[in-house]
A and B are shown apart, each in its own frame.
Chain A
Amino acid sequence: MRRAIFAILVTAVGLVLLLSFKPHELTAVATPPSAASPAPAPPSAGSGGQRKDPHDEDEEGGSDDDEQTGITHQQQSNGTTPQTGQDSTAPQAAGAWTGPGAVAGATSGDKVITGDIADTRWGPVQVQLVLNGGTMTGIRVLRAPDGNHRDLAINSQALPTLNDQALAAQSAQIDAVSGATYTSEGYMRSLQSALDRAGL
């Protein structure tokens, strides 16, 4: 079952530019570590403020130094490095649930599992899912990169698709995706960590 579920999410994840739902502040998390980060550019005016880059370790404990070094050479203009933003006490603006089991806890036997935060070049990704028995019945995005206009522009189209695909693509048996974006790969890693945590 686990392989099938991973196949679901790998299929979906590779297909979509995953970006945040809403231009709201996310809850602040741990400050970014180090020294090796390039100096952040000033936040652009229209973007509604930047959030902290959590740099939480995902399950592999990798540091982000290597990711940072890649940015200046390879990216075109617009991918801003996640900024050190202000602390926010606003409630976390996670995305809407997708799927029949999406009202978490509506059915007895529902279990809500939160995946690890997966760092990507463009920012952190984190997903949450509902399991009923061995089946994933609901899924949503808790956090995703939202640092530039491109992110915000594509959001509302991409995310419902991503979640639908993750739930629906049971039989595709896809093992990996080529050409996937970094953010969708982050989605995949976070979701995989949730499945690992669920013991599937």
Chain B
Amino acid sequence: MRHVEHAMGTVFSFDLRPPLGDARRAVAEAVTWLHRVDAIFSPYRQDSPISRLGRGEIGLDDCPPEVTDVLDLCAAVAEVSDGYFSTRPAGLLDPSALVKGWAVEQASRMLDRHGAVNHCLNGGGDIQCAGRPARGRPWRIAVAHPLRPGITATVVSGQDLAVATSGTAERGPHIIDPHTGRPALELASITVTGTGLTMVDAYATAAFAMGGAARAWVERLPGAEAFAITTTGATWHTSGFPDAASPVIQEADGAILQRPR
């Protein structure tokens, strides 16, 4: 079963595989959830709780409990990332870098609770997988090359797999290094993998802001791995990065290259 929903300024794709459980209700609940998250956390809505909180019009106690949950998670990531993850990357309160992945992970759990245990949720390129797409094989997620149209940079595979990519490919340099207040420009993209998208999404944002220093940082993070492409096209990855069994890059003209090791 598939469904697509527009929310939070992006597109959420649901891909449910058998057994579907109570799929329709599960998806309906997840969709309602995504819109609730949007209404609470949108920094573009003047009257959202997060906007009002950011302007000091209301206090944390006046906000829905999800706000406290999210801000607590953000604080934890800010600490583990030495401030490279921030809820105020450009000055205003904006936990968006964690909210989308968190929303998708929660939606994934809803599907699980309704018995739809094999699924892949894609929120604008941040992906939470659960179970298997088919018997005998894991989910396979391709990572688009940020600099070269027509090229896959790598493929990751896993069962309960979360994948998030931060980069500049389409929207230009939009991730701010909180330490400098300026766009992070060292990497073209970085892909972080793990099992839970909340953390993976936030780590990807922090890692992108860190640039080359992210490699050592992610290497130390339990349960997270990373693959990065610099603005000059060089690549690196952490030692446990779950690339698929056939690590090739296919050129636009059909020639196959070995992925550089």
Contacts and interface: CB of A to CB of B under 8 A. Distances in A.
Contacts of A64: 6
Interface in A136-180: 154, 157-158, 161-162, 164-165, 168-169, 172-180
A51 interface: no
A70 B142 contact: no
B30 to A, nearest CB: 14
A3 B18 CA distance: 13
Interface stretch (B80-88, B132-140, B214-222): B132-140
B195 interface: no
Nearest to A76: B172
B165 interface: yes
A79 B171 contact: yes
A74 interface: yes
B140 A121 contact: no
A20 interface: no
B135 to A, nearest CB: 12
A181 interface: yes
Interface stretch (A8-16, A97-105, A106-114, A127-135): A8-16
Nearest to A189: B4
Contacts of A17: 149, 169-170
B127 A15 contact: no
B155 A60 contact: no
A67 B9 contact: yes
B141 A177 contact: yes
B125 A179 contact: yes
A60 B5 contact: yes
B6 A66 contact: yes
B49 to A, nearest CB: 16
Contacts of A11: 142, 152
Nearest to A196: B2
A169 B6 CA distance: 28
Interface string B66-89: 000000000000000000000000
A106 B143 CA distance: 36
A200 B254 CA distance: 27
B100 to A, nearest CB: 11
Interface of A: 3, 10-11, 14-17, 58-60, 62-64, 66-67, 69-79, 119-121, 154, 157-158, 161-162, 164-165, 168-169, 172-185, 189, 192
Given A11-B142, A67-B6, A179-B146, 6 more contacts: A66-B8, A66-B38, A168-B254, A176-B129, A177-B141, A181-B170
23 contacts: A3-B133, A14-B142, A15-B151, A17-B149, A59-B4, A62-B5, A66-B10, A70-B10, A70-B44, A73-B43, A119-B6, A165-B150, A174-B140, A175-B129, A175-B133, A175-B140, A176-B141, A178-B125, A178-B143, A178-B144, A183-B170, A185-B13, A189-B11
**Which are the 7 A-B pairs with shortest beta-carbon distances?**
A70-B9, A76-B172, A62-B6, A161-B150, A179-B165, A179-B144, A69-B44
